[in-house]
Chains A and B, each alone.
Chain A
Amino acid sequence: MSFDDMLDDLRKREAKARAMGGPERLARREAQGVLNARTRIDAFIDPGSWVETGLLAVSSIVPEDRDKTPADGKIAGFAKVDGRMVAVASNDFTTKGASSSATNMKKVGHVKRVATERGFPLVFFGESSGARMPDNMGAKGMGTNLGHDPQQYVRTRQTPWASAVLGQCYGSSAWYTCLSDFVVMRKGAIMAVASPGLASFAIGQDVEAEDLGGWKMHSEISGLIDLVVESDEEALDEIKRFLSYMPSHCNEPPPLASVPAGSDECARRILDILPDSRKRAYDVRKIIKCLADLDSFFEFKPKFGRPAVTGLARMDGRTVGFIASNPMGKAGALDVAACEKATRFTVMCDSFNIPLILLVDTPGFVIGIEGEKQKAPGKIMNFMQALQMCTVPKLSVIMRKSYGQAYLNMGGGRNSDDVAIWPTAEVSFMDAHYATQIVTWGQQASDERKQEIREQMEKDSSAYSLAEIYAAQAVIAPADTRRYLIQQLEIHELRMSGGIGAHRMAAWPTTF
């Protein structure tokens, strides 16, 4: 064979691999407005930056599949996004449903290992039917295909991971999704342990795919995803946005961004948002948007655990994480879902050197039987332990109510590096009405006596009382809060380690 023939043969093999599952299957997807594994990569990366690994890999278990498995159904490689290196694993559903096989698992393992060891993020475009059949069947199928990588499902957060759920995600694409720091899901995609078909055959449960693992279920009930979008393109843009806040790896601080003009103006509007009446709710997200750099607030899980709001943002160009109680959700009383959400977000921020800002307006934790059945005390302690394990700077602002154990969980006392408090705040163990009921329990206390006790309980819950004993470091006006937080972030910068935390929760779970 001449050199020309050899090179021609190579080009033909490459073209065949890039054709994926063939023009008909690709056309069907295009007609549905869904991108394919390669157009997703093109839409995601900086033009011309793609370096593929394993283009000519094929199925290695079933000989007759060799010609029918271009790139073996999982496309892997490296590219630049906004000029920074990322690793990508993109599932080609047109090739055997992007099922996991002996060969393609080696490819995914390779990009995962390289991203981790060389220090850059890993991104998954999830759309996979699960383990390949019949390759994985029988003892030899299991022993040959599975379990050769003892680190396959270990997350130690050396580098950020992000996942897009863009189709059916069962098995490994569900596992990698749940191990990620950020997950975006396109409406119409499904993520579950196994398909509704298998649920029907195996346990007789007739369930609609959307109910089993659709966007509504995951964004509102399971909380396993961070964001819902309408299209593949939007999902890819949201991952790019997430990465823009993150360092490439855990041993560097997050990137600095320029500060948009007008960022300092909005803080003056906080008093227009904060109601006069302590009984009136407001949406704390409006306050976050006034404090953060203009248009920089990037919320996680907006429909899950709504008494807490979590999201990344920038303050004077630096990435920060906000955890805020939201009076619009259960009056700001933190429930089990809110604790799970706050814990996960705390662990992620701490692992990637992102300072935390806690905004407090909460009457406490939700009490009652529903929460207890969902392990509320354990969830409250997971959140508390996460906060105390944190070594990134933590700043807390008590805006209105801060009550009971939630005072500690939201950074009260030495659970923050600095506590600032607004003059509008009230801090106590519980509402004076309930406290009066408790201390007069079983006594024949007159209404006058109860009134006296109540007045006694009500006193000293002011911001100034907390500041006088130095349990708050400053009483500040809402309009000065942005400036104050930026100054405190500078004071508490981790100079001794070049901005790097101790990452004591790096191997904590990604879901709670």
Chain B
Amino acid sequence: MATTKVTSEVIGTVWKVEKAVGDQVAEGDLIMILESMKMEIPVEAPLAGTLSEIKVSPDDSVEEDHVLCLIES
């Protein structure tokens, strides 16, 4: 089992979290949506696995490279 950190590409806020801890995700699945520069920035699973931890909630501010969630694969 390997743990992969999913990080934010942008500075912004968390708008919606679309998945929950324990959910299975396929590569490219939408996990959450951030809001930055009036745009919705999708955060997609970089690989298939299980969401083991979600480290942010809606309205949280995030910086670039902020760890958003963990995927076990």
**Which residues of A are interface residues toward B (Cβ below 8 A)?**
275, 277, 279-282, 306, 327-331, 333, 363
Establish whether residues B37 and A330, one from each chain, have CB atoms under 8 Å apart when the complex forms.
yes
Q: A330-B37, A331-B36, A331-B37 are in contact. Are A282 and B10 (CB under 8 A)?
A: no
CB distance from A266 to the nearest CB of B (A): 14
Establish whether residues B42 and A331, one from each chain, have CB atoms under 8 Å apart when the complex forms.
no
Number of A-B residue pairs at CB separation under 8 A: 29
**Which residues of B are interface residues toward A (Cβ below 8 A)?**
9-10, 36-42
Q: How far is it, in angstroms, between the C-alpha of A327 and the C-alpha of B36 when the chains are bound?
A: 10
3 nearest A-B pairs in the assembled complex, by CB-CB distance: A331-B37, A331-B39, A280-B40
Establish whether residues A282 and B37, one from each chain, have CB atoms under 8 Å apart when the complex forms.
no
Q: How far is it, in angstroms, between the C-alpha of A281 and the C-alpha of B39 when the chains are bound?
A: 6
CB-CB nearest in chain B for A326:
B9
Q: Point out the residues of chain B lying under 8 angstroms from A280, CB to CB.
A: 39-40, 42
Q: Point out the residues of chain A lying under 8 angstroms from B9, CB to CB.
A: 306, 328-329
Establish whether residues A281 and B42, one from each chain, have CB atoms under 8 Å apart when the complex forms.
yes
Q: Point out the residues of chain B lying under 8 angstroms from A279, CB to CB.
A: 38-40
Residues of B contacting A: mostly: strand
Q: How far is it, in angstroms, between the C-alpha of A280 and the C-alpha of B34 when the chains are bound?
A: 10
18 A-B pairs with CB atoms under 8 Å apart are A277-B40, A279-B38, A279-B39, A279-B40, A280-B39, A280-B42, A281-B39, A281-B42, A282-B42, A327-B39, A328-B41, A329-B9, A330-B10, A330-B36, A330-B37, A331-B36, A331-B38, A363-B37
Establish whether residues A328 and B40, one from each chain, have CB atoms under 8 Å apart when the complex forms.
no
CB distance from A331 to the nearest CB of B (A): 4
Q: How far is it, in angstroms, between the C-alpha of A488 and the C-alpha of B63 when the chains are bound?
A: 41
CB-CB nearest in chain B for A277:
B40
Q: How far is it, in angstroms, between the C-alpha of A280 and the C-alpha of B38 when the chains are bound?
A: 9
Q: How far is it, in angstroms, between the C-alpha of A186 and the C-alpha of B39 when the chains are bound?
A: 35
Contacts A279-B38, A281-B41, A327-B39 known; 20 new A-B pairs at CB < 8 A: A275-B42, A277-B40, A279-B39, A279-B40, A280-B39, A280-B40, A280-B42, A281-B40, A281-B42, A282-B42, A306-B9, A328-B9, A328-B41, A329-B10, A330-B10, A330-B36, A330-B37, A331-B37, A331-B38, A363-B37
CB-CB nearest in chain A for B65:
A220
Q: How far is it, in angstroms, between the C-alpha of A388 and the C-alpha of B36 when the chains are bound?
A: 32
CB distance from B68 to the nearest CB of A (A): 14
Q: Point out the residues of chain A lying under 8 angstroms from B40, CB to CB.
A: 277, 279-281
Q: How far is it, in angstroms, between the C-alpha of A167 and the C-alpha of B43 when the chains are bound?
A: 35
Q: Point out the residues of chain A lying under 8 angstroms from B41, CB to CB.
A: 281, 328
CB-CB nearest in chain A for B35:
A279
Q: How far is it, in angstroms, between the C-alpha of A330 and the C-alpha of B37 when the chains are bound?
A: 7
Q: How far is it, in angstroms, between the C-alpha of A280 and the C-alpha of B41 when the chains are bound?
A: 6
CB distance from A437 to the nearest CB of B (A): 15
Q: How far is it, in angstroms, between the C-alpha of A360 and the C-alpha of B37 when the chains are bound?
A: 18
Q: Point out the residues of chain B lying under 8 angstroms from A329, CB to CB.
A: 9-10
Q: Point out the residues of chain B lying under 8 angstroms from A281, CB to CB.
A: 39-42
Q: How far is it, in angstroms, between the C-alpha of A279 and the C-alpha of B41 when the chains are bound?
A: 9
CB distance from A241 to the nearest CB of B (A): 22
CB-CB nearest in chain A for B9:
A328
Q: How far is it, in angstroms, between the C-alpha of A327 and the C-alpha of B10 when the chains are bound?
A: 11
Q: Point out the residues of chain B lying under 8 angstroms from A363, CB to CB.
A: 37
Q: How far is it, in angstroms, between the C-alpha of A329 and the C-alpha of B40 when the chains are bound?
A: 11
Q: Point out the residues of chain A lying under 8 angstroms from B42, CB to CB.
A: 275, 280-282
Q: Point out the residues of chain B lying under 8 angstroms from A282, CB to CB.
A: 42
CB-CB nearest in chain A for B39:
A331
Q: How far is it, in angstroms, between the C-alpha of A271 and the C-alpha of B60 when the chains are bound?
A: 31
Q: Point out the residues of chain B lying under 8 angstroms from A327, CB to CB.
A: 39
